[in-house]
Amino acid sequence: MRISELAEHSGATVATIKYYLREGLLPPGSKLGERRSEYGDRHLTRLRLLRVLRDVGDIPVSDLKKIVDAIDNESLSTHEMNGAAYDALARTSGEVSPDMRMLAARVVQEAGWAHVRPESPALDDLAGLLGVTVDLGAMFDIDHAATYLGLIDALAAYEVSRLDTAERIEDRDAVVQQMVIGQVVFGQLLLSLRRIAHEHHSALRYLDKPPADTEAGRFDAPQPDGA
Amino acid sequence: MRISELAEHSGATVATIKYYLREGLLPPGSKLGERRSEYGDRHLTRLRLLRVLRDVGDIPVSDLKKIVDAIDNESLSTHEMNGAAYDALARTSGEVSPDMRMLAARVVQEAGWAHVRPESPALDDLAGLLGVTVDLGAMFDIDHAATYLGLIDALAAYEVSRLDTAERIEDRDAVVQQMVIGQVVFGQLLLSLRRIAHEHHSALRYLDKPPADTEAGRFDAPQPDGA
């Protein structure tokens, strides 16, 4: 298809497509003449990925290049390729104190996540957040974190196991796209479900042990214990 | 203490304090004279809460008033008071299709979260996110969600149980503050830990079943299975 058709099918503007071509984010089409090129499904897939990375992953253009290079470098394993996208997603929030960096390392060790690269930006991200909990006087209690970390481990193991089919996908663009959607969209979904679950469990707690001023009939059609 | 001392101790500017007083977010001090008032610990606690709600919770000033009113209305139970803050934290992302609203209700039913108010904004938030998964072609698979929802339920139950001490806190400001920190900061912490756990489990998977082009020595000092 021509560039105008590619724009139509992908939803990207011709200007955006030309920009991606210039930046090397989109591979060139096959030359049909002086000023005409033919584009195919591969370009559509890539444009879809770039939209997900930008809209969903909120990844800046400068990082898109790193991800695309990792996809196009077929000597990199799927895992290394995904690593490039993982790293672009980890937002480090400025300086991180050595204390918090050490606490982060302890948390990861406690959780048994031995295959995490020591230089992973995700560790700085964690250290920064641990710093925030300290600043707020709500420090993460590593000595009582085994149950908590165990649940997160089980959740992540389950999520990764569900990607089984994606792993066999030949299309490297689609693998990265699924990974980013899993991290970002399903991350938001997790927080949303967690909030709802908190409302439920908080209700159970306060309905069982009402404070002095409670009235039990507050919930529409309350059910006994999660029925 | 005087307003200038309150500013000094709280880190808020005098202008911010005066604004909060005008808006009814901060209760008035005891009048000492025509233009002088005395402020106490209660004002410090409230200023700390307002900072957490704004900085951590990213809650707009218009919603702060609802939360503060719920705190100050002692006829509301702790749970109802927290509900006001939960609702302010749920960001509904515009229109939500009735289909997604129904899917959200099914998810919540499947999870057994029967004490969630049917009018909770968190349900609209969930419906909006489910819509995003559909748009991205990565629809939430409710028919295989039992394990996933079970893990989130266990996680939330655990987190709520850990708030045990807060529940007994007399200070309603502190209860809301702890709830918001739990939702927002520990929500971010959860995502950060989940990302690290994904890196670990993804490595385990790809190291066990390497794709054609993998090289196993990529990780510094790899340990056998989470040791």
Chain B, residues 111-140, CB within 8 A of chain A, namely: 111-120, 122-123, 125-126, 129-130, 132-133, 136, 138, 140
Looking at the complex, does the CB of residue B142 fall below 8 Å from at least one CB of chain A? no
Query: With contacts defined as CB-CB under 8 Å, which chain B residues touch A112?
Result: 200, 226-227
Residue B226 has pLDDT above 50, yes or no: no
Which among B92, B171, B183, B192 is the top mutation candidate for probing chain A, defined by the most A β-carbons within 10 Å of its own β-carbon?
B192
Is residue B74 very low, low, confident or very high in pLDDT (cuts 50, 70, 90)? confident
The residue with greater pLDDT, B213 or B36, is B36
Name the residue in chain A with its Cα closest to that of B49.
A136
Query: With contacts defined as CB-CB under 8 Å, which chain B residues touch A131?
Result: none
The DSSP secondary-structure symbol of A120 reads -
pLDDT at B156: 93
Residue B130 has pLDDT above 80, yes or no: yes
**Stretch (H or E) spanning B31:** strand B30-31
Task: Chain A: give the shortest CA distance to residue B36, in Å.
Answer: 31
Closest CA to A204 of A218, A190, A189: A218
pLDDT at A142: 84
Model confidence over B164-204: pLDDT tens digits? 555 555 688 888 888 888 888 889 899 999 999 998 998 88
Residue found under tokens 């370009």: A43
Residue B205 has pLDDT above 50, yes or no: yes
Q: Say what percent of chain B tops pLDDT 70.
A: 86
Looking at the complex, does the CB of residue B167 fall below 8 Å from at least one CB of chain A? yes
pLDDT at B150: 95
What's the per-residue H, E or C state across A191-215?
HHHHHHHHHHHHHHHHHHCCCCCCC
Question: What b/e sequence results for A89-119 when a residue is b if at least 16 CB atoms lie within 10 Å of its CB, and e otherwise?
Answer: bbeeeeebeeebbebbeebbeebbbbbbbee
Residue found under tokens 């214990």: A225
Name the residue in chain B with its Cα closest to that of A189.
B129
Looking at the complex, does the CB of residue B217 fall below 8 Å from at least one CB of chain A? no
Chain A, residues 58-87, CB within 8 A of chain B, namely: 74-80, 82-83, 86
Report yes or no: B122 and B86 within 8 Å, Cβ to Cβ.
yes
Question: Mean pLDDT over residues B137-164, rounded?
Answer: 86
Residue A211 has pLDDT above 90, yes or no: no
Pick the range with the lowest mean pLDDT from A9-13, B62-66, B85-89. Answer: B85-89
How many interface pairs between A and B have CB atoms less than 8 angstroms apart? Answer: 282
Model confidence over B98-114: pLDDT tens digits? 999 999 999 999 999 99
Query: With contacts defined as CB-CB under 8 Å, which chain A residues touch B135?
Result: none
Residue B151 to residue A158, Cβ atoms within 8 A: yes
pLDDT at B185: 86
Looking at the complex, does the CB of residue B170 fall below 8 Å from at least one CB of chain A? no
Model confidence over B31-45: pLDDT tens digits? 888 888 999 988 998
The residue with greater pLDDT, B52 or B170, is B52
Model confidence over A99-136: pLDDT tens digits? 999 999 999 999 999 999 888 888 998 999 898 888 88
Residue B113 to residue A199, Cβ atoms within 8 A: yes
Residue B96 has pLDDT above 90, yes or no: no
Is residue A164 very low, low, confident or very high in pLDDT (cuts 50, 70, 90)? low
Residue B216 has pLDDT above 70, yes or no: no
Nearest-CB residue to B191 (from A112, A132, A187)? A187
Q: Is the pTM of this model over 0.90?
A: no
pLDDT at B169: 59
Residue A90 has pLDDT above 80, yes or no: no
pLDDT at B217: 36
Q: Is B208 exposed, middle or buried (0-12, 13-18, 19+ CB in 10 A)?
A: exposed
Query: With contacts defined as CB-CB under 8 Å, which chain B residues touch A167?
Result: 205
Is residue A222 very low, low, confident or very high in pLDDT (cuts 50, 70, 90)? very low
pLDDT at B210: 47
The DSSP secondary-structure symbol of A38 reads E
Q: Which residues face B31 on adjacent strands?
A: B37
Task: Chain B: give the shortest CA distance to residue A118, in Å.
Answer: 7
Cα–Cα distance, A226 to A34 (Å, whole number): 68
Task: Chain B: give the shortest CA distance to residue A28, in Å.
Answer: 25
Residue B2 has pLDDT above 90, yes or no: yes
pLDDT at A53: 87
Query: With contacts defined as CB-CB under 8 Å, which chain B residues touch A158?
Result: 147-148, 151
The residue with greater pLDDT, A195 or A92, is A195
Question: Mean pLDDT over residues A10-39, rounded?
Answer: 92
Nearest-CB residue to B79 (from A147, A160, A203)? A203
Mean pLDDT of chain A: 83
pLDDT at B193: 94
Residue A190 to residue B194, Cβ atoms within 8 A: yes
Can you list the pairs that B22-25 forms with residues at least 24 positions away whose Cβ atoms lie under 8 Å?
B23/B61, B23/B64, B23/B65, B24/B65, B24/B68, B25/B50, B25/B61, B25/B64, B25/B65, B25/B68
Mean pLDDT of chain B: 83
Query: With contacts defined as CB-CB under 8 Å, which chain B residues touch A92?
Result: none
Task: Chain A: give the shortest CA distance to residue B23, in Å.
Answer: 25
Question: Mean pLDDT over residues A38-61, rounded?
Answer: 88
Residue A193 has pLDDT above 50, yes or no: yes
